[in-house]
Structures are given as structure tokens and as C-alpha cells.
């Protein structure tokens, strides 16, 4: 095994035991990036020089006996999380020259935990997309099949982990943007509970839905990274003051005696038969671990997509009003007056999908349509959350496919926004209800494409997700493959 | 038709965007498809249901009214497309 292939917990042991150095780990990751990055395009900005310097400092800390959870370990960060002095573009032309004057809270937390920052990852523009095809900086390709999309919007964060171009990464999830690419790229991806992780310094897309979370090579690493990034932040008024347990303490707890809910609404027409078969097989594994699998109903599931594509664009149209060419970012040249400057800056600076969603959101919020769209959607959202609250009265965890299909081909859905939106059909409800969810690998199609399994739990019950995901990972007996690059 | 080409033009103005005629045609058709899909929400009886605007138990997050350090002026201006005398410079607002 090469160093770049290892996990956080494997590297922790090697670094502390003196078997390797952070400098060697970082050089191994950089060699890997040099070998595969031109085919995959995980990154918008690479930070090789500063990573080398941080690795040298990490090795000093380890020698002094000051190793923290991530000391010396190369981590990548999605390019909508602000990094002081390092360009943060959101995958957009309009922020292509933006240098944040401060660090996001999660970046401070990673730094305090000793992480080495290796780069900023590619993404759908402003996190709007399910395929990482809408980035101003070009598409990211799936390491398992370079003609296919990696999922999105955090596609680069998923591929960087899947292709060993970093050890772990952070992404953001507004409607599935961590879990869907994790599923399509064969890695573990978690969206924590709304309020668990501070979003200070996360560029906002849809404020009532956005959450930051980890991409890792296994569930133990997911727990380690979740420990680092969780917690109340007085600078973020939606972060919640609840206790953060040591998530790694749940890895071996098992799920004996648990009830696991299988929602019938998630096994619908249109789901790929190989995906369905893999998830049905996983039900057998879970039962073998001493849990009881029962049918549960989430009756408003069929309305999730419509609710989401009103609420998310409505919030986005408001959040993206700040990009006006005045304070930062791209500005159109030679405009005669302020209005022309606003319109030309925004029309030249945003891509088509972002404009489509701003238009949809502006329409849904405009005078005369507010009740019919935004208010109605917010009411149905309450019913969707109630479905989950009721389901969790009778089960510990809910289990579903993460994505209805494996990775689709690049370009396949770019001209049909509604078809593209349908790829998030199993992940959107989680964000609407504010609950946590995790995707773990659960096998491969006959053609060798990864399939993901999703577990959902009640608010702030991430430890249940760690328990079941870890138990499943240990006992599923799925042969771990590596993409052939 | 849920939305006409003229309305697309009006919404674009509200959103401070501008489109070519061809783009307006395309948006009109795509937005109509999407809005037609949204129609399914009318099948849900939401009588007396309180709208949910975010999903945790928080209401207002209050803090003491204390002065704390904020971003220094020069850093706030560091990304400005055009600056003059420590202020953001923009094209003229009125004739």
C-alpha cells in the first residue's frame, strides 16, 4: 500500500509510531495528484507549496509529542468554504478572483486539529447541480469511469478521496451534494444534522438546508472528522448548543436489537434494478447483525422534489443577490450606470443553471405567487418533517438507496433540468427535515460502477449512523476495489 | 402556460439579469416544465399546517450587545473591483 491510499486512522498510527513522516505522506499525495489529476480534475486550486511547509511543521509537532487528531494528514476542502488568503471561487466566474479575508470555522477547526490543506475542490457552480458539470472551471470525471459524472455538487471532494488525491475532504450538502457523489464514487459521505456543524464562512446557497460534512475512505475516518468539525459556534446563529459525543466511541457498538425502517416510497419505478438488488442484499446483512427490518411509510416522499425546487431556489435568489460587482468578485467593464453594471455583471458572471434557479426563486417569491409557491412548499415541508418524526417513533434508523442510479454519462442530463433534479430524489428529504444522513459503499454494478446505501437518523443522532454504518461496513463482506487509473 | 416570455423578462429585471431573445424562449419553456411539475403540491391538503421555515428547535439567537473586533477596513476593501479613498467606487447612479 502506498501512503496516499491509507486512511486517517492508519496514518495516525504510522505518524505517531515514527513509521513515516507527514512530509512523506504529502509527497505521496502530490505524486498521486500529478499522476491522475489531469484526467479527473478534482481540484480548482492546489496548495502544494503551503502543504509541504505545513507537513514540515506537523513533523516537528509529532516529534515533540504534540500530535492532534489530524496532525500531518492532507485534507481537501470544497471551494465554497472560505480559506483566508486562498482563492475561494464557488465554481463560479463571479467569484473567480475572490480571496477570503478570513477562515471558515470548519477550516479553523481542521487547522487546530493539525490538518495539512492540500487544495480546494471542484464543484457545481454555487453547489447547484448533481454532476459537477456546471463548474466554471470545467467538469470533474468519475475515477471509476472517466466518461461518467462523479455526482455533485461536491464532485471534486468525492473524487479526490476516491482517487487517493487526498486522505479525506469536506463538502457541503443542500439536497444530497455530499451523499450522492459519495455513493457514485465509492466513498463514505455524511450530512450531519442541521445545526451540528458551523457554517460560518460557508458561502450560502439555501440557508435553511445547507450543511457541511466529511468525505472519507471508511466509517472510522468519518467519525474522526465529524469529531473535529462539530460543535456550537457563537458566530453562526443557526448552530445548536448540544453536546458533541466522541463519535469514534460508537464504532464497535453494533446494532443488536435495533429496528431499521425500510420506507416503501424509496423503492419506486425508475430505480435501477442493480441498485435495488444491492440495497435489498444489504437488508439481509443488517438483519444478520441482530436488527429487525420493518416497513415504514413516509407518505409525503413524492412531494419532496417539488418542495425542494421551490425552497432552495427561493433562498438562493435571495442569497445570491449580494453578487453585484460592488464589493468583491467579477465586475463587468465599461458600464454606463449602476443598473447596467448590476445586470451585466450578474449575467456574465453566473452560469446558466445558477441563472435558472435565481429566475425560479425570484418568480416563486414575487408578488402574487408567494402563497402559491413558497408558502405552500413550506407547509408541505412541515408534513415531510412530520413523516420522519413519526417514523423515528418506531425505528432507530431508516435505510434507503442513496441514488436511484449509478453514475450517468457526462452530458446525458445537461439539457433536461428536471431529469437532473430527479437524481437527488432519495437525498432531498433529509435536508428538508434537517436530519442527518450517511452514504456508505454497498457494492458494484455488473459494469463495475459503485452503488451507495443511505442511513438516516433523527436530529442529532449521528452516533446511530456511525454505529450502523460501521457495523455494515465490517460485515457486508464486499470486496473493496480501487478505481483503475 | 404558467409563465409567459414577457413575465420571464420581468422576473429577469427583478433578479438583475438580462437574456437574449433566444435564452428567454428557452427559459420560458424550461420554467414552464418545472412549474408544471410543482403543480403536484396542490394535491396536498395543507389546511391549518404551519409553514416550516427551518428544521431545528431554535427561534431567535440572542447575544449581548457588546462591541467586538470586526474585519479591519483594509481587509474589507481588499477584494473591491474599484476603490477610491477607502470606499467602493461604482458607475453613476443618476443622470
- The ipTM is 0.95
Residue A398 CA to residue A407 CA, distance in Å, equals 23
Q: What angle do CA A226, A8, A73 make, to 5 degrees?
A: 100
Using CB atoms within 10 Å of the CB of residue A18, give its burial: 0 to 12 exposed, 13 to 18 middle, 19+ buried: exposed
Q: Which helix (H) or strand (E) holds A452?
A: strand A450-456
Average pLDDT, chain A: 97
Nearest residue of A to residue B42, measured between CA atoms: A376
Of B2 and A85, the one with more pLDDT: A85
pLDDT of residue B1 exceeding 90: no
A311 domain-assigned: no
User: Would you tell me how many other CB atoms lie within 10 Å of the CB of residue B27?
Assistant: 23
Among residues of chain A, what percentage have pLDDT more than 90?
95
Q: What is the pLDDT of residues A161-181, one digit of tens each?
A: 999 999 999 999 999 999 999
**B5-43: CATH class:** mainly alpha
A267 domain-assigned: no
Q: Where does A326-365 have alpha helices with state H?
A: 338-349, 352-365
A370 domain-assigned: no
**Lowest-confidence segment of A65-79, A241-255, A364-378 by average pLDDT:** A364-378
Using a CB-CB cut-off of 8 Å, the residues of chain A touching B19 are 347, 355
Core vs surface per residue A38-75: b (16+ CB within 10 A) or e: eebbbbbbbbeeebeebbeebbeebeeeebbbbbbbbb
Q: Where are the beta strands (DSSP E) in A249-387?
A: 259-263, 292-296
- Report the pLDDT averaged over residues A396-425: 92
Q: What angle do CA A366, A371, A375 make, to 5 degrees?
A: 105
* Nearest to A190, CA basis, from A201, A200, A199, A181: A181
The shortest CB-CB distance from A358 to any of B17, B61, B95 is to B17
Residues of A (234-293) whose Cβ lies below 8 Å from B: 234, 237-238, 240
3-state secondary structure of A169: strand
The residues of A that are catalytic are 78, 153, 177
Q: How confident is the model at residue A347 (pLDDT cuts 50, 70, 90)?
A: very high
Q: How confident is the model at residue B74 (pLDDT cuts 50, 70, 90)?
A: very high
- Report the pLDDT averaged over residues A24-46: 98
pLDDT of residue B58 exceeding 80: no
- Report the pLDDT averaged over residues A281-293: 98
Inter-chain residue contact B31 with A331, CB threshold 8 Å:
no
A66 domain-assigned: yes
pLDDT of residue A467 exceeding 80: yes
Q: What is the DSSP letter of A195?
A: T
pLDDT of residue B95: 61
Q: What is the pLDDT of residues A432-464, one digit of tens each?
A: 999 999 999 999 999 999 999 999 999 999 999
pLDDT of residue A126 exceeding 80: yes
pLDDT of residue A262 exceeding 70: yes
Residue B85 CA to residue A80 CA, distance in Å, equals 30
pLDDT of residue B85 exceeding 80: yes
The shortest CB-CB distance from B52 to any of A102, A362, A385 is to A385
Check which CATH number belongs to the domain holding A105 and give it. Answer: 3.90.1300.10
Core vs surface per residue A118-157: b (16+ CB within 10 A) or e: bbbbbbbbbbbbbbbbbbbbebbbbbbbeebbbbbbbbbb
Q: What is the pLDDT of residues A302-316, one digit of tens each?
A: 999 999 999 999 999
Q: What is the pLDDT of residues B13-46, one digit of tens each?
A: 999 999 999 999 999 999 999 999 999 999 999 9
Using a CB-CB cut-off of 8 Å, the residues of chain B touching A362 are 11, 14-15
Mutation pick from B2, B13, B16 vs chain A, by most beta carbons of A within 10 Å, is B16
pLDDT of residue B94 exceeding 90: no
A294 domain-assigned: no
- Look up cell 433523527; give the residue: A458
Starting at the edge strand found earlier in the chain, the sheet holding A437-444 runs: A43-46, A116-121, A74-78, A168-173, A211-216, A188-191, A437-444, A450-456, A397-401, A259-263, A292-296
Inter-chain residue contact B51 with A381, CB threshold 8 Å:
yes
A83 domain-assigned: yes
Q: Inform me whether the C-beta atom of residue A381 falls under 8 Å from chain B C-beta atoms.
A: yes
Inter-chain residue contact B14 with A362, CB threshold 8 Å:
yes
A235 domain-assigned: yes
pLDDT of residue B82: 95
Q: Where are the domains of chain B?
A: 5-43
Q: How confident is the model at residue B56 (pLDDT cuts 50, 70, 90)?
A: confident
Alpha-carbon dihedral sign for residues B20, B22, B26, B32: positive
Number of domains in chain A: 1
Could you give the maximum distance between any two Cα atoms of chain B, in Å?
A: 58
Using CB atoms within 10 Å of the CB of residue B84, give its burial: 0 to 12 exposed, 13 to 18 middle, 19+ buried: exposed
Q: Are A169 and A78 in contact (CB under 8 A)?
A: yes
Of A419 and A146, the one with more pLDDT: A146
**Lowest-confidence segment of A87-91, A324-328, A465-469, B69-73 by average pLDDT:** B69-73
pLDDT of residue A415 exceeding 90: no
pLDDT of residue A481 exceeding 90: yes
Q: Where does chain B have alpha helices with state H?
A: 5-14, 21-38, 73-77
Q: Where does A322-461 have alpha helices with state H?
A: 338-349, 352-365, 376-394, 417-421, 428-433
Q: How confident is the model at residue A423 (pLDDT cuts 50, 70, 90)?
A: confident
Beta-strand pair A292-296/A259-263: parallel
pLDDT of residue A418: 81
pLDDT of residue A256 exceeding 90: yes
Core vs surface per residue A235-257: b (16+ CB within 10 A) or e: ebebbbeeeebebbebbeebbee
Amino acid at each position: 500500500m502506498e501512503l496516499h491510499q491509507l486512511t486517517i486512522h492508519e496514518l495516525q498510527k504510522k505518524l505517531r509510531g515514527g513509521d513515516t513522516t507527514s512530509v512523506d505522506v504529502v509527497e505521496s499525495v502530490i505524486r498521486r495528484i500529478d499522476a491522475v489529476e489531469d484526467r479527473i480534475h478534482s481540484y480548482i486550486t492546489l496548495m502544494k507549496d503551503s502543504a509541504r511547509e505545513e507537513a514540515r511543521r506537523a513533523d516537528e509537532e509529532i516529534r515533540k509529542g504534540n500530535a492532534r487528531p489530524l496532525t500531518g494528514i492532507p485534507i481537501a476542502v470544497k471551494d465554497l468554504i472560505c480559506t483566508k488568503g486562498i482563492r475561494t471561487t464557488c465554481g463560479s466566474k463571479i467569484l473567480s478572483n475572490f480571496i477570503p479575508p478570513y477562515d471558515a470555522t470548519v477550516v479553523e477547526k481542521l487547522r487546530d486539529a493539525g490538518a495539512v490543506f492540500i487544495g480546494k475542490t471542484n464543484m457545481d457552480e454555487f453547489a447547484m447541480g448533481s454532476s459537477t458539470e456546471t463548474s466554471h472551471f470545467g467538469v470533474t470525471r468519475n475515477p471509476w469511469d472517466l466518461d461518467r459524472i462523479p455526482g455533485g455538487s461536491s464532485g471534486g471532494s468525492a473524487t479526490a478521496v476516491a482517487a487517493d488525491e487526498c486522505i479525506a475532504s469536506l463538502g457541503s450538502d443542500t439536497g444530497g451534494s455530499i451523499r450522492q457523489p459519495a455513493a457514485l464514487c465509492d466513498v463514505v459521505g455524511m450530512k450531519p444534522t442541521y445545526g451540528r456543524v458551523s457554517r460560518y464562512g460557508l458561502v450560502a446557497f439555501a440557508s435553511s438546508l445547507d450543511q457541511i460534512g466529511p468525505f472519507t475512505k471508511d466509517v472510522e475516518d468519518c467519525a474522526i472528522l465529524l469529531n473535529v468539525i462539530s460543535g456550537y459556534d457563537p458566530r453562526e446563529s443557526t448552530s445548536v448548543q448540544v453536546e458533541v459525543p466522541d463519535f469514534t466511541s460508537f464504532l464497535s457498538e453494533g446494532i443488536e436489537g435495533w429496528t431499521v425502517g425500510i420506507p416503501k416510497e424509496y423503492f419506486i419505478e425508475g430505480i435501477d434494478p442493480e441498485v435495488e438488488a444491492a440495497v435489498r442484499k444489504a437488508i439481509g446483512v443488517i438483519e444478520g447483525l441482530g436488527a429487525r427490518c420493518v416497513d415504514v411509510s413516509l407518505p409525503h416522499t413524492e412531494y419532496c422534489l417539488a418542495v425542494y425546487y421551490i425552497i432552495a431556489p427561493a433562498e438562493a435568489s435571495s442569497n445570491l443577490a449580494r453578487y453585484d460587482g460592488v464589493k468583491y468578485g467579477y465586475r463587468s467593464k465599461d458600464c454606463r450606470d449602476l443598473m447596467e453594471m448590476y445586470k451585466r455583471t450578474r449575467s456574465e458572471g453566473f452560469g446558466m443553471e445558477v441563472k435558472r434557479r435565481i429566475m425560479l426563486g425570484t418568480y416563486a417569491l414575487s408578488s402574487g405567487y408567494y402563497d402559491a409557491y413558497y408558502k405552500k412548499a413550506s407547509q408541505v415541508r412541515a408534513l415531510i418533517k412530520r413523516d420522519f418524526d413519526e417514523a423515528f417513533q418506531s425505528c432507530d434508523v431508516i435505510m434507503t438507496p442513496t441514488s436511484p442510479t449509478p453514475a450517468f454519462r457526462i452530458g446525458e442530463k445537461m439539457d433536461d433540468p428536471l431529469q437532473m433534479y430527479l437524481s437527488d430524489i432519495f437525498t432531498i428529504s433529509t435536508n428538508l427535515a434537517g436530519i442527518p444522513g450517511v452514504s456508505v459503499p454497498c457494492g458494484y454494478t455488473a459494469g463495475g460502477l459503485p452503488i451507495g446505501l443511505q442511513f438516516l437518523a433523527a436530529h442529532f443522532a449521528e452516533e446511530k449512523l456511525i454505529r450502523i454504518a460501521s457495523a455494515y461496513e465490517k460485515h457486508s463482506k464486499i470486496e473493496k476495489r480501487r478505481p483503475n487509473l | 402556460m404558467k409563465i409567459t416570455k414577457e413575465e420571464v423578462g420581468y422576473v429577469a429585471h427583478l433578479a438583475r439579469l438580462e437574456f437574449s431573445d433566444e435564452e428567454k424562449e428557452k427559459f420560458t419553456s424550461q420554467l414552464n416544465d418545472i412549474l408544471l411539475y410543482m403543480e403536484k403540491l396542490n394535491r396536498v391538503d395543507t389546511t391549518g399546517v404551519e409553514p416550516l421555515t427551518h428544521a431545528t428547535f431554535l427561534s431567535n439567537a440572542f447575544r449581548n450587545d457588546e462591541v467586538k473586533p470586526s474585519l479591519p477596513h483594509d481587509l474589507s476593501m481588499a477584494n473591491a473591483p474599484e476603490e477610491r479613498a477607502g470606499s467602493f467606487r461604482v458607475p453613476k447612479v443618476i443622470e
